């Protein structure tokens, strides 16, 4: 081999290597810029912000079922009856089965509404407490239906301090004066004819959590 051929071969190799280096440089700089810390090649860490895979165990839709926020539809007399049967608690919740057979939980606040709001027992009906006012001397049958204490103190009271006739039948609803006047709509008393309709329904209380079916 003579020198010319050798030079020729070396020259080709050098040109090839320089060309290769230049090509790599061009590729590197065009994608990374003039820097030694090229991060472009790394996998992007941030994934798409909207997850495309949802966990399979989503909570079941309860659109058709009762939720805890929904009130129970209860016959007004059933609500009072359940309260009396539970020994007429002032603050504790008591259970009542609503018109759809759901076990519900209510408190005296729900019962008090029945005594203190008009149009509950019948449309156009005056509130019980609008006649049976707190002032026993002025109230018909000396019965104060404006408060828990008043209802508990009963009717035919001599004065504000004394107790009268128990209108709750000692806890047995069907024997109570309240039952007589509410459920059997004793009509021979002025004001009661239009005041009471045994078929009145109200929304009161909440379903008892355990009674709702779990999927
Ligand atoms: C328009 C006025 C009026 C309204 C409204 C009214 N009452 Fe009366 N209530 C009376 C009168 C009058 C009597 C009989 C008083 C008498 O006999 O001396 C009476 C008697 C009663 C008695 C009998 C007490 C006893 O010892 O004999 C009960 C119980 C009673 N009412 C409950 C209610 C309830 C519950 C409501 C609401 C659903 C109500 N009342 C609404 C006027 C009213």
The whole-number pLDDT of residue 134 equals: 95
Same domain, 5 and 94: no
Same domain, 115 and 201: yes
Give me the number of domains the chain comprises: 2
Atom of ligand 1 nearest to the CA of 178: 29
In a domain, 60, yes or no: no
Minimum CA distance residue for ligand 1 atom 17: 141
The whole-number pLDDT of residue 197 equals: 61
In a domain, 101, yes or no: yes
Same domain, 199 and 109: yes
Ligand 1 close to Cβ of residue 143 (< 6 A): yes
Same domain, 143 and 205: yes
Same domain, 170 and 121: yes
Substitution candidate for ligand 1 out of 132, 138, 157 with most atoms within 8 A of CB: 132
In a domain, 117, yes or no: yes
Ligand 1 close to Cβ of residue 189 (< 6 A): yes
Buried b (16+ CB within 10 A) or exposed e, 187-206: eeeeebeebbbeebbbebbb
Alpha-carbon span 59 to 91, nearest angstrom: 34
In a domain, 49, yes or no: no
In a domain, 181, yes or no: yes
Q: In the chain, which stretches have pLDDT less than 50?
A: 61-66
The whole-number pLDDT of residue 64 equals: 44
The whole-number pLDDT of residue 155 equals: 95
Atom of ligand 1 nearest to the CA of 143: 24
Atom of ligand 1 nearest to the CA of 125: 5
The whole-number pLDDT of residue 181 equals: 84
Ligand 1 close to Cβ of residue 50 (< 6 A): no
Centre of ligand 1 from the C-alpha of residue 71, in Å: 29
Q: Which range of residues forms the domain containing residue 24?
A: 1-38
Chain centroid offset of residue 11 CA: 86
Cross-strand bridge partners of residue 155: 165
Is the pTM value of this prediction over 0.75?
A: no
Same domain, 198 and 101: yes
Ligand 1 close to Cβ of residue 139 (< 6 A): no
CB of 146 closer than 8 Å to CB of 134: yes
Alpha-carbon span 204 to 82, nearest angstrom: 13
């Amino acid at each position: 081999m003579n020198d010319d051929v050798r030079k020729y071969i070396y020259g080709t190799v050098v040109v090839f290597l320089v060309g290769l280096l230049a090509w790599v440089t061009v590729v590197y700089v065009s994608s990374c810029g003039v820097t030694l810390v090229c991060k472009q090649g790394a996998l992007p860490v941030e994934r798409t912000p909207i997850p495309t895979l949802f966990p399979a165990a989503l909570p079941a839709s309860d659109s058709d079922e009762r939720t805890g926020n929904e009130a129970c539809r209860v016959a007004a007399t059933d609500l009072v009856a359940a309260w009396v049967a539970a020994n007429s608690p002032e603050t504790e919740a008591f259970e009542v089965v609503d018109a759809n057979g759901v076990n519900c939980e209510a408190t005296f606040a729900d019962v008090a509404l029945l005594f203190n709001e008009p149009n509950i027992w019948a449309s156009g009906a005056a509130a019980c407490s609008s006649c049976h006012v707190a002032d026993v001397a002025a109230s018909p049958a000396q019965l104060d239906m404006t408060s828990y204490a008043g209802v508990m103190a009963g009717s035919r009271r001599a004065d504000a301090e004394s107790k009268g006739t128990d209108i709750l039948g000692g806890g047995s609803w069907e024997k109570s004066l309240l039952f007589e006047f509410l459920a059997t709509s004793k009509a021979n008393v002025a004001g009661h004819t239009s005041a009471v309709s045994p078929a009145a329904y109200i929304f009161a209380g909440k379903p008892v959590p355990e009674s709702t079916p779990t999927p």
